[in-house]
């Protein structure tokens, strides 16, 4: 079976080269958008009187039959057909004969694959945004559920200040919100139609690129044919966005793994999202969170892989570009699956609020509150900072908490301390005092939750 491009060649491809050269194992996933693009192209050819109306109808009918054959599993994709474009064209010719050979008029596989990738990504980026939005809804639900419960806020993984659990969860909401915004922004750069660019320099045939742009639902048409067939920036941007989103999932997974440890015991992960040990009967392992954390490195690798591929490729199209689909599909599938499983896991996580509350008694969480209260009493902050530092040092030696200090202790710490310098040191009061915009007070968390709900509605 000769290749559709074999006219110039005297020898057939070596079988091992033929298999190595093929991309059908990957790009068969493009069959739907490839047929969509072909239909728009053939309609444009007929509009421009490049083919006859009856030929257009015959090709459209044939393409629909090819689609049905693929969807019903009647097509055995072989590497002998090289890629999805050649496979569909060959199947079409087998069905309708020589008129099928007109489909590729004024078109190259170079602009065809660029088109397929953009059409495919338009759909899949929408799906990713929806999946991220579902995770955001889970976080909003959990934040609302736990907005009145106190936990420890950390810096350097050391006790820092008390915050509400809802506030903590809304911090992650903001991360995933930025992810959504990045993917929405990316859609602008995906939404260009490259069809009609040809191999690299356009075509001598009188085509109408704006017509296919409208038929395919693109906002704009690419400006330069050479750039159109060699542009992978939008894929690199997609891989970058996937990497950042996976990094956010990985950070959250790391916290879940830590919180799930017996040393912390801050959360209870539902049994259906954990595994056991083959030897230790007592184990309940947070494998889902660990897997997501592990898969993040794979997503990073995909980005670096394509960046490396692209750095040495001259204009215009090069066979190296075939490697883009492997990393594109893998990053897409990995992020999509990770988001789905993480959302379900998060929905079924319970916070052990009493254990967390007990831990807020450690670590001098109210130290900053005392310093800031002193500032309100006109004591310079740096001086207040030093006084409170001495208070903490004194408490450590006495093995007591700040709330256990008595008036008779003050002179041993500093002659400047008075009773009115010490505010209510309960975690609840510390949280409620932080009413600054973006702070952890209950009212502020409620405001953040409401804004989050509005954001999700607008997606």
Query: pLDDT 10s per residue in the chain (459 long)?
Result: 555 545 554 556 556 555 555 567 788 999 999 999 999 999 999 999 999 999 999 999 999 999 999 999 999 887 666 789 999 999 999 999 999 999 999 999 999 999 999 999 999 999 999 999 999 999 999 999 999 999 999 999 999 999 999 999 999 999 999 999 999 999 999 999 999 999 999 999 999 999 999 999 999 999 999 999 999 999 999 999 999 999 999 999 999 999 999 999 999 999 999 888 889 888 889 999 999 999 999 999 999 999 999 999 999 999 999 999 999 999 999 999 999 999 999 999 999 999 999 999 999 999 999 999 999 999 999 999 999 999 999 999 999 999 999 999 999 999 999 999 999 999 999 999 999 999 999 999 999 999 999 999 998
Query: Can you tell me which residue has the tokens 């916070």?
Result: 351
- Residue 248 phi/psi, 5° resolution? -65, -45
- Which residues are part of the catalytic machinery? 156, 277
Nearest CA-CA partner of 36 in 81, 88, 77: 88
**What confidence score (pLDDT) does residue 5 get?**
41
Predicted TM-score of the model (pTM): 0.92
What are the residue boundaries of the structural domains of the chain, listed by start? 6-105, 110-203+221-358, 361-450
351: β partners: 267
**What confidence score (pLDDT) does residue 318 get?**
93
Class of domain 110-203+221-358: mainly alpha
**What confidence score (pLDDT) does residue 258 get?**
96
**What confidence score (pLDDT) does residue 82 get?**
74
**What confidence score (pLDDT) does residue 62 get?**
98
CATH topology of domain 6-105: Fumarase C; Chain B, domain 1 (1.10.275)
**What confidence score (pLDDT) does residue 366 get?**
96
Class of domain 361-450: mainly alpha
Neighbours of 91 (CB within 10 A): 21
Please name the residues in contact with 230: beta carbons below 8 A apart, sequence gap of 6 or more. Answer: 200, 313, 315, 316, 317, 318, 321
């Amino acid at each position: 079976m000769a290749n559709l491009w074999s006219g110039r060649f005297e020898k057939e491809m070596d079988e091992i080269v033929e298999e190595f050269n093929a991309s059908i194992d990957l790009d068969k996933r493009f069959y739907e958008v490839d047929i969509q693009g072909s239909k728009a192209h053939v309609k444009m050819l007929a509009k421009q009187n490049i083919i006859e109306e009856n030929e257009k109808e015959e090709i459209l009918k044939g393409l629909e039959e090819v689609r049905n054959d693929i969807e019903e599993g009647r097509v055995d994709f072989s590497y002998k057909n090289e890629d999805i474009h050649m496979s569909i064209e060959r199947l079409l010719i087998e069905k309708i004969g020589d008129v099928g050979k007109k489909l590729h008029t004024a078109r190259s596989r170079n602009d065809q694959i660029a088109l397929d990738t953009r059409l495919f990504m338009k759909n899949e980026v929408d799906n990713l945004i929806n999946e991220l939005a579902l995770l955001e809804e889970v976080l909003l639900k959990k934040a609302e559920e736990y907005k009145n419960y106190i936990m420890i806020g950390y810096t350097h993984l050391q006790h820092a200040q008390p915050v509400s659990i809802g506030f903590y969860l809304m911090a992650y909401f903001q991360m995933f919100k930025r992810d959504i915004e990045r993917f929405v922004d990316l859609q602008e750069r995906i939404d260009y139609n490259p069809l009609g660019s040809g191999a690299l320099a356009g075509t001598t045939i009188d085509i109408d690129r704006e017509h296919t742009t409208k038929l395919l639902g693109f906002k704009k048409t690419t400006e330069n044919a050479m750039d159109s067939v060699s542009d992978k920036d939008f894929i690199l941007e997609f891989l970058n966005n996937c990497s950042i989103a996976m990094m956010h999932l990985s950070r959250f997974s790391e916290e879940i793994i830590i919180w799930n440890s017996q040393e912390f015991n801050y959360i209870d992960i539902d049994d259906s999202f954990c595994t056991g040990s083959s030897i230790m009967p007592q184990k309940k392992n947070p494998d889902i969170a660990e897997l997501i954390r592990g898969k993040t490195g794979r997503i990073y690798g995909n980005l670096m892989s394509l960046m490396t591929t692209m750095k040495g490729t001259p204009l215009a199209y090069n066979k190296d570009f075939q490697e883009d689909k492997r990393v594109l599909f893998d990053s897409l599938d990995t992020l999509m699956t990770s988001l789905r499983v993480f959302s379900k896991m998060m929905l079924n996580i319970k916070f052990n609020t009493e254990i967390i509350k007990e831990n807020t008694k450690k670590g001098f969480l109210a130290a900053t509150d005392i310093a800031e209260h002193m500032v309100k009493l006109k004591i310079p902050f740096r001086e207040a900072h030093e006084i409170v530092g001495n208070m903490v040092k004194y408490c450590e030696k006495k093995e007591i908490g700040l709330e256990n200090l008595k008036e008779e202790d003050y002179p041993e710490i500093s002659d400047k301390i008075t009773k009115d310098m010490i505010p209510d040191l309960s975690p609840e009061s510390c949280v409620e005092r932080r009413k600054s915009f973006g702070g952890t007070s209950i009212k502020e968390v409620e405001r953040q939750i409401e804004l989050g709900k509005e954001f999700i509605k607008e997606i």
